[in-house]
Amino acid sequence: MYKIWIAGSTKKTTQVADKISQDNRFEISHIITPQPRKVGRKQEEVINPPHQFSKNNQIQTTLVDKKIDDETKTKLLSLEKPDLLIVVDFGFWVPGWLLSLPKKAPLNIHPSLLPRWRGSSPGQNVLLSGEKESAATLMIMAKEMDAGPILKQVPFKVDPSWTQVEYYQHSFDLICENLVDYLNEFMDGKLIETQQPKESPTPIAQKLDKKQSFRDWQKIKKAMENGDNAEGIERACRAFYPWPKLWTMINTQKGEKRLIIHQCSLNKNQTLVLEKVQLEGKAISSFNEIKNIIS
């Protein structure tokens, strides 16, 4: 039985861990995940999905605060080495010593058709660019971001209605279907490594923030009136949902207000139609309910 360590922080990590734990060819012997965070007004501690998974399954766990520090290093190096380290939605930089720790290799699941869209927000960039095809990639990690050898790619067509939620869920559902078989084939030397080119044909998919999801209201108006860049704005609405959300600033009878665009579409004339929006300080509504207050 091969021993696996998993590093991650989200439900995607747990999805992978759950799939592996159901197969008797592998054992998850350790989980590395962020420590509980205090959230809300009451500052209640909330543990993330992989932490809860480790508790439920009595798996030894290392909790990381702001980074993988010397204390974490000392602890992990004192443990029996795993055969594989699998990093899934971790959110922390993985140092070289940790990449070198597993007996066989450190692996990563990356939801893009590598070498396209290396980085932390591949799905959003696939949607923003309007690409029609993508893939879920199982790869060996290297020091350079998402540049290691490819072991397996599961291609898929990108649905033009997807938000980032559907994109990522579809990616992980696909790779998880036969993930344990891929891992076993890799351990048996049956998966051929494919080296990536040094340079990616696309920019690095940097971590998103609210500045990137802003669009000027005048440009949105033009998209609504004559279709100018309407497709690009509609893509952005899906790519940025549910976070950081597409937003703009509008002038109202009560001054300038922030307007979040939750949902929009293209009509038969390929002009933009705003559907669900949220005016600053208000609940989500239809655009028709608030359009008359825009000055």
16 phi and psi angles, rounded to 5 deg: -65, -45
Domains, the chain, ranges and CATH? 2-187 (3.40.50.170), 217-293 (3.10.25.10)
272 phi and psi angles, rounded to 5 deg: -80, 135
pLDDT confidence of residue 75: 95
Rounded CA-CA distance 202/189 in Å is 31
Beta bridge partners of 284: 278
- Of 79, 45, 46, residue with least CA distance to 61: 79
Show Cβ contacts of residue 9 under 8 Å, excluding neighbours closer than 6 positions. Answer: 33, 34, 48, 49, 50, 89, 90, 91
pLDDT confidence of residue 66: 87
Instruction: State the DSSP code for 10.
Output: S
pTM of the model: 0.95
Average pLDDT across each block of 10 residues of the chain; the chain has 295 residues. List them in order.
97 98 97 87 85 97 93 95 97 94 98 97 98 98 96 98 98 98 97 95 94 96 96 98 97 92 96 96 94 84
pLDDT confidence of residue 39: 73
